């Protein structure tokens, strides 16, 4: 008998809706210096509470690039925190759906 792989669901529907909404709030106030970095601190804690390590290579690269974008004048007006959160959610949901970790993730 072949065992079926148990599908994981680390991010529920509620978190999947509220995380981008909170990220949008951080992006709205991105004209204030370091709000984007503060946003990533909040999301790091949120991911930890969900049992997800934000310290994989791809997730760290997403967070760091978003934080750097937030520190550059005029470019910081882009919704980089929202885009970064959505990218990380897509990475996690695809890992859960496929039952494997994406390459370069720990």
Q: Distance (Å, rounded) from C-alpha 26 to C-alpha 39?
A: 6
Kindly report, residue by residue over 35-82, the tens digit of the pLDDT.
888 999 999 999 999 988 888 888 889 988 988 888 788 887 889 999
Q: What is the secondary structure of 6-69 as a DSSP string?
A: PPP--S-HHHHHHHHHHHHHHHHTTTSTTHHHHHHHHHHHHHHHTT--S-SHHHHHHHHHHHHH
92-103: average pLDDT: 80
Mean pLDDT of 7-14: 85
pLDDT at 86: 96
pLDDT band at 24 (very low <50, low <70, confident <90, very high): very high
More confident residue, 93 or 1: 93
Q: Report yes or no on whether pTM surpasses 0.85.
A: no
Residue 31 neighbours by CB under 8 Å, 6+ apart: 76, 77
Q: Which tens digits make up the pLDDT trace of 27-37?
A: 999 888 788 88
């Amino acid at each position: 008998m072949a065992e079926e792989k148990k599908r994981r669901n680390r991010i529920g529907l509620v978190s999947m809706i509220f995380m981008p909404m909170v990220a949008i709030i951080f992006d709205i106030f991105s004209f204030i210096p370091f709000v984007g970095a503060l946003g990533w601190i909040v999301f790091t804690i949120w991911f930890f509470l969900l049992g997800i390590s934000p310290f994989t290579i791809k997730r760290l690269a997403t967070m760091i690039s978003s934080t750097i974008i937030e520190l550059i004048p005029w470019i910081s007006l882009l919704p980089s925190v929202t885009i970064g959160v959505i990218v990380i959610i897509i990475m996690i949901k695809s890992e859960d759906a496929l039952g494997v970790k994406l390459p370069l993730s720990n």
